[in-house]
Structure 1
Amino acid sequence: MAVTGSASGTATPADRGRPGHRTVRVGEFSFATAAIGNLRTPDGDLHAEQTVDAAWKSGIRHFDTSPHYGRGRSERRLGRALRGRPRDEYTLSTRAGCVLDPAPDARGRDRADGLAGPAAYRRRRDFSAEGIRRSVEESLNRLGLDRIDLVYLPDPDDRTDQALDHAYPALERLRAEGVIGAIGLAVDRTEQPDHILRDTDLDALLLTGRYTLLDQRGLAGLLPLAAERGVAVVVGGVFNSGLLAAPGPETAFDYAPAHLQLLEQEVELRTVCERYGVPLRAAALRFPFGHPAVARALVGTRSAREVRDAVAMLHCPIPDALWTELKARRLLPAHVPTPKQAG
């Protein structure tokens, strides 16, 4: 599977030069499914199915999940919701090396990492070759699929050597066997992944929270390197945990309380956007696409209404003058690439 391009259907560099890889054009929006795995609050199976159905009806054809979202619950719910959909009309990504060990002695409710629900499994990171294969096989079982289009290796951090020596070669073997279509790296830090990008044949990079209206650290090295290597970038966390979407008294930035400077910056950004009749969340969604390496935005929604709103925001017209003013007011650095208005 080749990592797909933009809504226009053009392929990214990662699409080209890979014999036997399948190109599926799924547009610029990727649906993140942490919420249907009970992110922050419990969610029912029917509600999860309705949310995925709304995404499908809105034209979304890429779905992203992980074994650790609800300890397998997100994968199971997503698999059920997609059952019966034409398999060649959508692509799906998950994480490898995220192992779930049964916890028969677990009692009560678990809210670790914001995931509410029964603690029937213990989550464990395993970047050994055996751990990679086991996690992919278990994901296939939960999803009810015979292949996964894109598998990310998540946040190697202090396991970089193991990721390069064991996890990545195991993913390469699975790609060669046709069990997975493409290999990605998922990170929310910019300090370590450079040499992983240089030393591997990755198809995609999922960069979360580090290329947004409030945080452009990804521009310093990762995005140019991804463009040079032909690695398609998927930008996650475009709202920085909600600050750029629905600010309020308990607004978070990267899952922690937002400090005063960020709150003031959000107000200034929103004021400029309102002057041009553009919702701030629309500008936040569109901003990453100014960089040529960015192929998709990964957005989490927890209801059919939020799905429809996010799709509408992605397609909201944004005049070039808005980006010019943001730079003039030093709300964006002058060197940051910004999207050009269509037409």
Structure 2
Amino acid sequence: MSTLGTGRVEVSGLGLGAAPLGNLFTEVDDEQAYQAVDAAWQQGIRYFDTAPHYGIGLSERRLGAALRDRPRSQYTISTKVGRRLEPVEQVTGDDLADGFAVPATSRRVWDFTADGIRCTLDASLERLGLDRVDIVYLHDPDDHAEQAFHEGYPALEKLRAEGVVGAIGAGMNQAAMLTRFIRDTDVDVVLCAGRYTLLDQSALAELLPSALARGTSVVIGGAFNSGLLADPKPDATYNYTQAPAELLDRALRMKAAAQRHGTTLRAAALAFCAAHPAVASVLVGARSAAEVQDCAEQFAADVPGAFWEELRDTGLLAADTPVPEEEPS
């Protein structure tokens, strides 16, 4: 377990990202979702991340139900604010346009105001069946920077001061604005998705060094870049779209190198993310008990140093990219 920032909230090194439990792209039934959470618990995972966005609240409802009989003091849960859910008068279709195979029972409204933050968090607590969450992230404020920094962040800071939440931060698919949160605010943690992986190290330029300097923790999401690093093949996705041919080739070459060294690309992808000293936890999205168990096994596996040497020697990683056997400066 690692403590976030200078606070008291702890997270396990491997966390469960619950977007798939909200029917990300394809349907998952309740029993399968509960079995995935049970498997995570059995594997020692004690950090669970969700959001109202995931399945228009379905992920939160399922995660809350799956954890209901677990001792509340023994796990850490995070959710997100910034997208307020408003019920629609008439359901006319599904939510697949936003990535989730659920009926479009609500519409998402961007809202990083102080009132919107509290309203959204209250609704999340109701769906989760909890009286508190441990971490709250501002969710994807890319196009709402002014409101997020000047209204949303102060609202979170107040909630933390009141003891309503234990840690606050921001979660995004980019590194630049997260670096600004680290430098300009007093966040405990940032959730960086897809920007520190074997295929994309853009967070290494400023975000991770800034986090180390400020004592801010980093949670890494998207370690597999939405699928390409889990199972590179022609129809694999990269950042939720069709993987470009060049990146598919790089991933396949990495996979072949992993096999030569007696490991897997999945194990290497997770080890790479986890090794940086600023990183407190790596989130993996899983939709079944089998996927959870595989991720836990890969996370625990050793990756030989010779594998990293080959990636550097062949140009698949830059020569100065920090790898697990080293500590970044």
TM-score (norm: length of structure 1):
0.92
AA of the residue aligned to 1:64: D
* Corresponding position of 1:28: 13
AA of the residue aligned to 1:224: P
| Equivalent residue for 1:111, pick from 62, 83, 96 | 96
AA of the residue aligned to 2:211: A
Deviation at residue 336 of structure 1 after TM alignment: 1.2
* Corresponding position of 2:173: 188
| Equivalent residue for 1:171, pick from 139, 156, 176 | 156
* Corresponding position of 1:48: 33
Give secondary structure in 1 for the equivalent of 2:27.
coil
Separation in 2 of the partners of 1:49 and 1:23? 25
Separation in 2 of the partners of 1:309 and 1:210? 23
Deviation at residue 43 of structure 1 after TM alignment: 1.6
Is 1:320 aligned with 2:305? yes
AA of the residue aligned to 2:228: L
Separation in 2 of the partners of 1:52 and 1:195? 34
Separation in 1 of the partners of 2:194 and 2:324? 18
Q: 1:162-198 CA deviation, whole Å, 9 max, x = no partner?
A: 1111001111111112111100111111233332221
* Corresponding position of 1:100: 85
Q: 1:51-107 CA deviation, whole Å, 9 max, x = no partner?
A: 111111111100000001010110011001000100010000010122100112221
| Equivalent residue for 2:139, pick from 147, 154, 158 | 154
Contact 1:289 1:338 in 2 (8 A): no
| Equivalent residue for 2:62, pick from 71, 77, 96 | 77
Is 1:260 aligned with 2:248? no
Separation in 1 of the partners of 2:23 and 2:324? 34
Tell me how large the CA RMSD over aligned residues is. 1.4
Contact 1:93 1:149 in 2 (8 A): yes
Q: 1:205-233 CA deviation, whole Å, 9 max, x = no partner?
A: 11110100001011011111111111111
What is the percentage of aligned positions where both structures have the same residue? Answer: 51
The 5 Å alignment of 1:202-217 reads: 202-217=187-202
Separation in 2 of the partners of 1:198 and 1:251? 36
Give secondary structure in 2 for the equivalent of 1:192.
helix
Separation in 2 of the partners of 1:43 and 1:119? 16
Contact 2:15 2:282 in 1 (8 A): yes
Contact 1:244 1:266 in 2 (8 A): yes
Give secondary structure in 2 for the equivalent of 1:215.
coil
* Corresponding position of 2:284: 299
* Corresponding position of 2:220: 235
AA of the residue aligned to 1:126: D
Contact 2:9 2:134 in 1 (8 A): no
Separation in 1 of the partners of 2:109 and 2:97? 13
Deviation at residue 109 of structure 1 after TM alignment: 2.4
Deviation at residue 31 of structure 1 after TM alignment: 0.1
AA of the residue aligned to 1:31: L
Deviation at residue 23 of structure 1 after TM alignment: 4.2
* Corresponding position of 1:285: 270
- Unpaired stretches in structure 1, ≥5 consecutive residues: 6-10
Separation in 2 of the partners of 1:182 and 1:139? 16
Range with greater deviation from structure 2 (102-111 or 258-267): 102-111
AA of the residue aligned to 1:171: L
Separation in 1 of the partners of 2:309 and 2:25? 37
Give secondary structure in 1 for the equivalent of 2:177.
coil
* Corresponding position of 1:274: 259
Deviation at residue 161 of structure 1 after TM alignment: 1.4
- Unpaired stretches in structure 2, ≥5 consecutive residues: none
Aligned length: 326
Separation in 2 of the partners of 1:144 and 1:324? 48
- 4+ residue runs of structure 1 moved beyond 3 angstroms? none
Deviation at residue 317 of structure 1 after TM alignment: 0.9
* Corresponding position of 1:8: none
AA of the residue aligned to 1:258: A
Give secondary structure in 1 for the equivalent of 2:167.
strand
AA of the residue aligned to 2:32: H
